[in-house]
């Protein structure tokens, strides 16, 4: 294993593996490599680890999750608990169940309210009740979906492609088709399609733009039970950071990579923006895939021309706008559930009309779909979420993709000083007011009780996460819908993880791709091993947590844990 000598900033000049970016995918991969005894360096350009799973604080009273809205499959043998268990940190994260019996997601349209419970059978019953005239079509869809869910689960526990084809010949035919094609096949109405695909905000695409397998995988993930990590999303991130560092790895925040070094077709390390070069025979990029291929690796200098062209031509999934709201009062009685509100029974038609209006006259003054996530209901009484008697929630909606919508020629990665641009500010104000208006239609008046409101746009996301075009969902097309790259690349020693790879969107998807990458590198079925109780590394090396343990401080890495600028909760 490499040791190397120390250079500027205390970094060694060589490691066994370098992880570029510290989203959940990178944290999982890096943690498992460190637990195997590899000397791992994780580099993060932001102030804190976590990627879209990180949190931020305001007014010393409120902590807002950026993208950790809820998690699925967190029971004793669930996906994320299993991945944590393999690193010895399962007991460091407690998962709080949402209302899995009555409904963890509430879908609202003008003519229907659907409360989504845990379990495929219960979910199917609710769909039939909401769509009595389409019960046979619902059954057809559920039959297809549950068969594909079984394929997804079997692949996770180690079945090869050949084994999957033998065990699930019919379902395998649907792995390359879209959700839209499945809905067409089952003959569902516009309303039926809307109720089934209402939570499209979990992957950022209308039915024709997402693979059926991905939709099923995410649905199955939540139907195994919906949860939220106690203490917020940063608590989950911090557990992975603790594992990485306890097993000898290093996390360096505010440390940006300029390029990934490649010589003779293999990765050899990275160069930082300050010019320092660090060598390693393994590089795992948790950066945006297009940025990895086209910028960090130099495009055709490292990859086949066809792959580079496909990556240049790739389109991205929907961009989003998020409004973070705090109130000095509790919300009226609500279930412990997210709300997915749709202003039309035809979600796809409403989305197309929104894009048409914008293309015609640039208007964006109405909201056709809105998602609402309530941190103060998911983790009631949490010290960091909000003071007692207050509320903390997030509003989220799709918006047209691209910089033109915001009146700027480029984004933060291009050095564009967008934050004072008058067109950008006007658009941001317009959408904020429209989203708050819509939320008051759903929740009742609350504006007079607002103590903090803040809006994040795709440019905000690009600034902090460096996601391509600001979308947290990755690529929509990469040489075809539902086609995405694998974790292993054409460059020897270079792997990719994150929202763009074939394991799908969301925390569950990126955690899966992280353990898949580590499994490829180590030549072991790590998830299957962790599922049976195998723990890599020595869990006795994990640090004790002091009474004032702060997951946000932990997520800055040991080198910057006490650096100035960390927001606290008073």
Residue range 533-570, pLDDT digits in tens = 999 989 999 999 999 999 999 999 999 999 998 998 87
CA distance 517 to 530: 15
CA 530 to chain centre: 22
Going edge to edge, which strands form the sheet with 391-399?
112-116, 105-109, 338-342, 369-374, 391-399, 319-327, 450-456
pLDDT score for 357 = 86
CA distance 345 to 51: 34
Helix (H, G, I), strand (E, B) or coil at 62: strand
β-bridge pairing 95-97 and 226-229: antiparallel
CA distance 148 to 172: 7
pLDDT score for 414 = 83
CA 334 to chain centre: 26
User: Which among 455, 454, 449, 453 is positioned nearest to 327, based on CA atoms?
Assistant: 449
CB atoms within 10 A of CB 253: 21
Instruction: Quote the tokens at residue 2.
Output: 């490499």
Please state the pTM of the whole predicted model.
0.95
CA distance 127 to 498: 32
Of how many residues is the chain composed?
570
CA distance 465 to 481: 24
pLDDT score for 3 = 52
Instruction: Quote the tokens at residue 216.
Output: 């099923």
The CB-side HSE value for 244 (13 A sphere, CA atoms) comes to: 32
355: buried, middle or exposed (CB in 10 Å: 19+, 13-18, 0-12)? middle
CA distance 189 to 487: 37
CA distance 503 to 497: 9
Give the bridge partners for 106, in sequence order: 115, 339
Q: Taking the CA atoms of the chain, what radius of gyration do you get in angstroms?
A: 23
Q: What is the dihedral of CA 532, 533, 538, 541, to 10 degrees?
A: 140
CA distance 393 to 343: 20
**Averaged pLDDT in 10-residue chunks for the chain of 570 residues:** 59 97 98 98 97 96 96 94 97 97 98 98 98 98 92 73 73 87 97 98 94 93 97 96 98 97 97 97 97 96 96 93 97 94 97 88 86 96 93 94 90 88 94 97 97 97 88 90 91 97 89 96 95 93 96 97 89
CA distance 1 to 35: 13
Instruction: Quote the tokens at residue 211.
Output: 């693979």
Sign of CA dihedral 248, 253, 254, 258: positive
Helix (H, G, I), strand (E, B) or coil at 546: coil
Q: Which fold has domain 8-93+230-313+475-560?
A: FAD/NAD(P)-binding domain (3.50.50)
Residues 6+ away with beta carbon under 8 Å from 563: 556
CA distance 205 to 336: 25
User: How much helix, strand and coil, in percent to the nearest 5, is found in the chain?
Assistant: 40, 20, 40
Each domain of the chain, given as residue ranges in start order, spans 8-93+230-313+475-560, 99-224, 319-400+402-469
Range 34-38, long-range pairs (CB < 8 A, 24+ positions): 34/243, 34/244, 34/247, 34/248, 34/249, 34/537, 35/86, 35/87, 35/88, 35/243, 35/247, 35/536, 35/537, 36/522, 36/536, 36/537, 37/1, 37/247, 37/248, 38/1, 38/282
Helix (H, G, I), strand (E, B) or coil at 59: coil
What one-character DSSP code corresponds to residue 12? Answer: B
Q: Where are the alpha helices (DSSP H) in 19-168?
A: 24-35, 79-86, 120-130, 135-156, 161-167
CB atoms within 10 A of CB 185: 15
- Do 242 and 543 contact (CB within 8 A), yes or no? yes
The CB-side HSE value for 487 (13 A sphere, CA atoms) comes to: 24
Residue range 150-161, pLDDT digits in tens = 887 777 766 676
Instruction: Quote the tokens at residue 339.
Output: 């709300």
Token pair 């950066």 is found at: 287
- Do 291 and 406 contact (CB within 8 A), yes or no? no
């Amino acid at each position: 294993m490499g040791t190397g000598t120390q250079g500027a900033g205390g970094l060694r000049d060589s490691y066994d593996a370098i992880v570029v970016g510290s989203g959940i995918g990178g944290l999982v991969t890096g943690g498992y490599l460190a637990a195997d005894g590899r000397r791992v360096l994780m580099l993060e350009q932001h102030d804190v680890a976590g990627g879209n799973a990180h949190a931020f604080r305001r007014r010393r009273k409120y902590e807002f999750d950026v993208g950790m809205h809820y998690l699925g499959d967190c029971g004793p043998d669930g996906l994320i608990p299993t991945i944590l268990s393999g690193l010895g940190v399962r007991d460091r994260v407690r998962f709080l169940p949402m209302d899995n019996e009555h409904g963890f997601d509430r879908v609202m349209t003008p003519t229907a309210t659907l409360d989504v419970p845990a379990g495929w059978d219960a979910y199917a019953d609710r769909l039939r009740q909401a769509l009595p005239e389409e019960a046979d079509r619902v059954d057809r869809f559920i039959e297809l979906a549950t068969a594909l869910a079984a394929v997804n689960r079997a692949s996770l526990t180690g079945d090869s492609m050949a084994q999957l084809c033998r065990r699930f010949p019919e379902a395998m035919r649907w792995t390359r088709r879209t959700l839209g094609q499945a809905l067409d096949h089952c003959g569902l109405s516009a309303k039926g399609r809307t109720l089934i695909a209402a939570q499209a905000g979990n992957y950022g695409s209308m039915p024709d733009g997402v693979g059926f397998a991905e939709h099923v995988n995410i649905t199955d993930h939540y139907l195994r039970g919906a949860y939220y990590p106690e203490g917020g999303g940063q608590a989950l991130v911090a557990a992975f950071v603790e594992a990485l560092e306890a097993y000898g790895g290093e996390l360096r925040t505010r440390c940006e990579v300029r390029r990934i070094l490649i010589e003779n077709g293999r990765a050899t390390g990275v160069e930082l923006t300050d010019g320092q070069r660090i060598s390693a025979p393994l590089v795992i990029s948790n950066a945006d895939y297009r940025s990895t291929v086209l910028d960090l690796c130099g495009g055709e200098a490292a990859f086949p021309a066809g792959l580079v062209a496909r990556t240049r031509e790739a389109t991205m999934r929907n961009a989003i706008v998020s409004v973070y709201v705090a109130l000095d009062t509790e919300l009226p009685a609500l279930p412990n559930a997210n709300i997915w509100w749709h202003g039309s029974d035809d979600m796809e038609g409403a989305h197309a009309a929104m894009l048409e209006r914008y293309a015609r006259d640039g208007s964006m003054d109405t909201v056709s779909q809105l998602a609402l996530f309530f941190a103060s209901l998911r983790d009631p009484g949490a010290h960091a979420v909000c003071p007692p008697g207050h509320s903390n929630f997030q509003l989220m909606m799709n918006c047209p993709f691209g910089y033109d919508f915001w009146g700027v020629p480029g984004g933060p990665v291009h050095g564009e000083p967008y934050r004072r641009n008058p067109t950008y500010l006007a658009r941001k104000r317009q959408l904020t007011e429209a989203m708050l208006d819509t939320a008051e239609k759903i929740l009742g008046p609350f504006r007079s009780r607002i103590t903090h409101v803040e809006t994040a746009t795709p440019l905000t996301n690009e600034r902090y996460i460096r996601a391509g075009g600001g979308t947290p969902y990755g690529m929509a097309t990469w040489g075809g819908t539902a086609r995405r790259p694998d974790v292993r690349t054409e460059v020897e020693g270079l792997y990719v993880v994150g929202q763009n790879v074939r394991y799908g969107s969301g925390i569950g998807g990126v955690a899966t791709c992280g353990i898949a990458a580590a499994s490829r590198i180590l030549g072991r079925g790590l998830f299957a091993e962790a599922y049976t109780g195998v723990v890599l590394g020595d869990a006795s090396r994990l640090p004790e947590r002091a009474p004032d343990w702060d997951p946000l401080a932990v997520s800055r890495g040991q080198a910057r844990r006490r650096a100035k600028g960390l927001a606290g909760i008073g």
